Amino acid sequence: MSMCRLSTRLGPTPRRPSPRPAFTLIEMLVALAVMVLAMAMVTTVFSVTAKTTATSAAVSEAQTLARNFALQIEQDLRYCDPTRSVLVLVGRTQAAALTEDQRQAGLHYRQMVGDPGNVDSSLDPRFAPTPPPEYSDPRADILMFFTQRPSASQTPPVNPVDDFGRALQRGAKLGPVQVMYGHATLDRAVRSGSTWTFADDLTYIETDPATILSPLPLTRWHLARRAVIINDPGTSGTPGANPPAFDSSTFQRVVHGMSTDARYAGDAVTFKLDEYLRWFSPVPPNQGAGIGPLALKSPYGVIVGPGGYQPQASLRWGAAEINLVLQNMYPTSPAALLHHFATVVEQPPEGLRDNLALDLVPGCAWFQVEFLMPEDPRNSNESPLSDQRRDTPRWVSVTPGSTYVFVPDTDENRRLVQSQVYPPGSPRAGMPLPAPNRLRNFAQVIPPSMARALPAGFQLPHNGDTVDNRIVRLWPYAIRVTIQVIDHNGRLEQPIQRSVVHWFP
C-alpha cells in the first residue's frame, strides 16, 4: 500500500499550457496607422475620381450645348440671303455675378478684353462699380435676321383654320423664318384649373441702370432662339400707309413659343415680308412716314473722317426709322427697353413643355456678335492688295447700348449709294460728293499711300478718289458669334467657349 502511494508521487509532473502569440501595443498602433493611411488614400482617390467624373460630365454637357448652338446658327445663316433680309445687331453688356451667393456678396463676374499689361494691380475688378477699361461685364448682344431655312413648327396648331395651319400640323417645313438670338426673360408656371399657364411674373436679366448687378446670376441666364415661321400673303394693290408689323396677339404667341388658341401655331405668323422689305428700298412705299432711302444712312451713325470714326447726325437713323425693326423684335416699348423678345420657364410642367423650344443654351454667360465692316475694303478678297495683307481680320464689336441695322444688300441699294457722285461732264465726274454722304464712308480700295504697290506706270485717276476705287456693299463681309457656357451646378471653374464665323456673299 505504501508503494502505490510512492509511485503516485514520483510520476510525471503535468505541463502548464504555453501562452498564445499576440500583438504588442506598439504593433497595434502601427497597424492602425497603416490602415488609416490606406483609407485616406482610398478616400482621396475616390474623391478625385468623383470630381474628375463630375467635371468631365459638366464639360461634355457644356460642349454639347455649344455644339447644338453652333449647328443651329450655322444652318440659319447658311440660308440667309442678304438681298432678302435686314441684319440687326444689338450691343449690350450687363453687370452680373456668377452664382447667387456671389450676387448676394456683390461680386461682379468680368472678362478681360484688353491688354493685361495695363491692368492696375491694386484694383480688384470684382468689386469695381464699373469695369476697368481692360475688363468687360458679360456681353448679352442680340442678333436678328430673316432666313430662307425651311423649318417645321415646334408648336403646330391643333385645329388649324387654313391651308398654312394644316401644313404646319402635318409637320411640313416652311419658310421664310425670322430668327432672333439673345438672352431670354424668365417666367414661372402656375396651375389654372386643369392646365398650366404663365404667371407673367417676368424676371429680366437686365437692369436699369446697367451697372446694377443682374437679378439673375449667370448660372440662370438662358440664351434663346426665337424662330418665327412666316406666312407671306403677298401685297395686293397699294401697300399700306404703315410698314407691316407684328400685332399684340402675334407677340403673345411667339414670345412664349406656344399658343393658348388651338387654331394657331405658337411659332408662326401671317406677315407681309415682301412689303416690309420694300420699306428698306431706295423708294419706300410711303415717303410721308418720314422714312427716306435707308441705304444712304449709316448703320452705326458714323463716318470715316481724318480723325477716325466721327458721329454724323445727318447719317443716323431717326426714331421712325429704327421703329421699323424694333416693332417686329419686341412686343412693346417697355419690353424693347429691357430687350424682351422671348420668355422661358425653367423646368416647365408637362403642359408647358413646348416652351422649351425657346431655351437653346442654359447657363450662357456670354453672347457677343462681331462683324467685318463693309466700309473697309481690306476685309475683301476682291482688293488687289489683299495678297499683301499681313494682319488679322478687323473684327468690330457692337457698341453697348447701340443698335446697328444693315439694310438689304440689293443691287438697287448699292446703285443708290454709288450714285452719290458728281454728274457726268463735270470736272470731278465720278468723284464722291462732299461729305456727308454714304459713299464717302467706303474707303478707297487703293489709297494714295499704297499707290507705290501698283504696277509700274499705273496711275490712279483723280488720286483714286472715285466710285470705281471703292467696294460698295451694305452687309458686313462676315459676322462672328461667340458664346461662353457655364455649368449651372458649379462643376466648372471656367466656361466653355465656342465661336462661329459666317461669311456673306
Question: Quick one: pLDDT at residue 387?
Answer: 56
Structural domain boundaries, residue 422: 414-465
Q: Rounded CA gap, 322 and 315, in Å?
A: 13
Question: Quick one: pLDDT at residue 307?
Answer: 44
Task: Assess whether 421 and 389 both reside in one domain.
Answer: no
Tell me, yes or no, whether 349 lies in a domain: yes
Tell me, yes or no, whether 121 lies in a domain: no
Task: Assess whether 371 and 451 both reside in one domain.
Answer: no
Question: Quick one: pLDDT at residue 18?
Answer: 64
Task: Assess whether 168 and 259 both reside in one domain.
Answer: yes
Query: Average pLDDT for consecutive 10-residue bins of the chain (505 residues)?
Result: 49 63 77 85 72 74 92 97 96 94 94 86 86 93 97 94 95 96 95 87 87 93 97 77 88 91 93 93 77 88 48 72 90 83 92 90 96 91 61 84 93 95 88 87 81 55 79 96 89 88 95
Q: Is 397:170 a contact under the CB 8 Å cutoff?
A: no
Tell me, yes or no, whether 268 lies in a domain: yes
Give the CA radius of gyration of the chain.
34
Task: Assess whether 431 and 320 both reside in one domain.
Answer: no
Q: Rounded CA gap, 56 and 7, in Å?
A: 87
Q: Residue 391: what are its φ and ψ, rounded to 5°?
A: -100, 180
Dihedral Cα 48, 50, 51, 55, nearest 10 deg: 130
Q: Rounded CA gap, 176 and 197, in Å?
A: 29
Cα torsion angle, 322, 327, 329, 332, sign: positive
Q: 109: which 3 cell numbers?
A: 463676374
Contacts of 297 (CB under 8 A, 6+ apart): 315, 316, 317, 321, 438
Strand partners, 231: 270
Task: Assess whether 455 and 372 both reside in one domain.
Answer: no
Q: Rounded CA gap, 165 and 161, in Å?
A: 6
Q: Rounded CA gap, 346 and 222, in Å?
A: 9
Contacts of 501 (CB under 8 A, 6+ apart): 478, 479, 480
Could you tell me which of 224, 202, 196 has the C-alpha nearest to residue 350? 196
Q: Residue 165: what are its φ and ψ, rounded to 5°?
A: -65, -40
pTM: 0.86
Cβ neighbours around 292 below 10 Å, total: 14
Q: How many domains does the chain have?
A: 2
Cα torsion angle, 163, 164, 167, 173, sign: positive
Tell me, yes or no, whether 155 lies in a domain: yes
DSSP letter assigned to residue 290: S
Q: 431: which 3 cell numbers?
A: 468723284
Task: Assess whether 273 and 418 both reside in one domain.
Answer: no
Could you tell me which of 244, 225, 246, 226 has the C-alpha nearest to residue 236? 244
Q: Rounded CA gap, 76 and 444, in Å?
A: 33
Contacts of 314 (CB under 8 A, 6+ apart): 436
Tell me, yes or no, whether 300 lies in a domain: yes
Q: Rounded CA gap, 131 and 84, in Å?
A: 39
Burial label, 128 (beta-carbon count in 10 A; 0-12, 13-18, 19+): middle
Task: Assess whether 422 and 456 both reside in one domain.
Answer: yes
Question: Quick one: pLDDT at residue 272?
Answer: 93
* 239 upstream amide cis, omega within 30 of 0: no
The one-letter code for the residue type at 215 is P
Q: Is 485:62 a contact under the CB 8 Å cutoff?
A: yes
Task: Assess whether 345 and 383 both reside in one domain.
Answer: yes
Tell me, yes or no, whether 431 lies in a domain: yes
Tell me, yes or no, whether 9 lies in a domain: no
CA atoms within 13 A on the CB side of 231: 17
Integer angstrom CA distances of residue 400 from 21, 216, 301, 438, 499: 83, 20, 14, 23, 20
Q: Rounded CA gap, 390 and 287, in Å?
A: 46
Task: Assess whether 437 and 294 both reside in one domain.
Answer: no
Task: Assess whether 318 and 426 both reside in one domain.
Answer: no
Task: Assess whether 332 and 439 both reside in one domain.
Answer: no
Task: Assess whether 72 and 213 both reside in one domain.
Answer: yes
Could you tell me which of 76, 217, 218, 230 has the C-alpha nearest to residue 143? 76
Tell me, yes or no, whether 261 lies in a domain: yes
Collapsing DSSP states into helix, strand and coil, what is residue 73? helix
Q: 235: which 3 cell numbers?
A: 401685297
Could you tell me which of 149, 220, 223 has the C-alpha nearest to residue 180? 223
- Where do we find the cell 403646330? 156
Contacts of 400 (CB under 8 A, 6+ apart): 91, 92, 93, 210
